[in-house]
């Protein structure tokens, strides 16, 4: 399981995060996206070293970059609030409301992943969690945290800016996209709180997160994909939407099993199915598709 998890995390660090930053704000986050591969390479390298001081130092350098990125979130929220009060129309990359909540959640998520990484590489049971749980927190907040919130925000942006007569647009799409943009960050936070409360709280978070991700999948398949002329982009969007249906069902199964005791997949099996599916089928396909959409 360790090798698979490390490969998934490496993908998130080196490609998904910097590509996602360019999608959030191509101008404002240009420098951060361009420089990100440097600390990301250090973070990726520490994954393959034995636990100890060298691995911990490399993880700490990555964490410093992730924390610096997280400080961008409050400034964006304050700017969005200021524009809303002033009555001015926000620029395309600074949409107030649920879309901004989602993308700011994406900006904060790598810092949570990096904090867990530092503790795990040091062999320190942060908050009493087993090292295996800390290790799995790293990919969780690169993908369920960063990428899921990012895509929910992008879908919400598309719903807010698209005219009602746009191809694929259906009644209720805007409301559903706002629900997704709120519920994905909310569900991710509830899952995190569930770590400290109990398995039932984590199950509640999984339910909220799953409904939000299924909303993202539905909007992607029904509203966004039909308006795409490029076949490759359409296939990437379709794949990302289809994969979410299966991977989030697995997440619900696992969380329900932990809470109720019913038979459910092991962590190793979840990493090979839910984790790999979300990393390649959802995250990578989504980022590639949205990058192509922005170029077009």
Q: What is the DSSP string of 101-159?
A: HHHHHHHHHHHHHHHHHHHHHHT--GGG--HHHHHHHHHHIIIIIIIHHHHHHHHHHHH
pLDDT given for residue 79 in this prediction: 75
In order along its 296 residues, the chain shows pLDDT tens digits of: 788 889 999 999 999 999 999 999 988 899 999 999 999 999 999 999 999 999 999 999 999 999 999 999 988 887 766 766 665 545 544 455 889 999 999 999 999 999 999 999 999 999 999 999 899 999 999 988 999 999 999 999 887 665 544 445 565 788 899 999 999 999 999 998 988 888 999 999 999 999 999 999 999 999 999 989 899 999 999 999 999 999 999 999 999 999 999 999 998 899 899 999 999 999 999 999 999 998 75
pTM over 0.85: yes
At 84 the pLDDT is 62
64 within 8 A of 130, measured Cβ to Cβ: no
Tokens of 239: 């794949």
Cα 123 to the center of its chain, rounded Å: 26
Measured CA to CA in angstroms, residue 70 lies from 59, 66, 131 at distances of 16, 6, 24
Question: What is the SS3 assignment for 190?
Answer: helix
User: How many CB atoms sit inside 10 A of residue 246's CB?
Assistant: 15
* DSSP H or E stretch at residue 268: helix 267-270
Q: What is the dihedral of CA 218, 221, 223, 224, to 10 degrees?
A: 130
């Amino acid at each position: 399981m360790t090798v698979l998890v490390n490969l998934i995390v490496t993908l998130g660090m080196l490609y998904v995060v910097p590509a996602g930053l360019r999608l959030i704000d191509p101008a404002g986050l240009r420098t951060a996206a361009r420089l990100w591969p440097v600390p990301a390479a250090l973070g990726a390298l520490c994954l393959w070293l034995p636990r100890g001081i060298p691995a911990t130092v490399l993880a700490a350098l990555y964490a410093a970059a992730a924390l610096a990125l997280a400080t961008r979130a409050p400034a964006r929220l304050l700017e969005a609030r200021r524009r809303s009060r002033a009555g001015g129309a926000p620029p395309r990359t600074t949409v107030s409301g649920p879309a901004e909540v989602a993308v700011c959640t994406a900006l904060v998520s790598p810092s949570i992943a990096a904090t867990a990484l530092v503790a795990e590489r040091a062999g320190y049971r942060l908050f009493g969690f087993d090292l295996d749980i800390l290790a799995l927190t790293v990919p969780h907040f690169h993908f369920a945290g960063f990428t899921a919130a990012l895509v929910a925000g992008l879908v919400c942006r598309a719903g807010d800016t698209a005219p009602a007569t746009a191809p694929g647009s259906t009644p209720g799409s805007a409301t559903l996209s706002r629900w997704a943009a709120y519920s994905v960050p909310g569900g991710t936070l509830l899952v995190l709180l569930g770590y400290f409360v109990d398995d039932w709280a984590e199950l509640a978070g999984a339910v909220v997160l799953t409904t939000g991700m299924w909303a993202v999948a539905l909007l992607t398949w029904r509203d966004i994909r039909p308006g795409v002329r490029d076949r490759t982009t359409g296939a990437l969007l379709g794949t990302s939407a289809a994969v979410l249906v299966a991977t989030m069902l697995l997440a619900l199964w696992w969380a329900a099993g932990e809470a109720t005791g019913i038979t459910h997949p092991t962590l190793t099996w979840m990493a090979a199915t839910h984790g790999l599916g979300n990393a390649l089928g959802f995250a990578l396909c989504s980022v590639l598709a949205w990058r192509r959409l922005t170029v077009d």
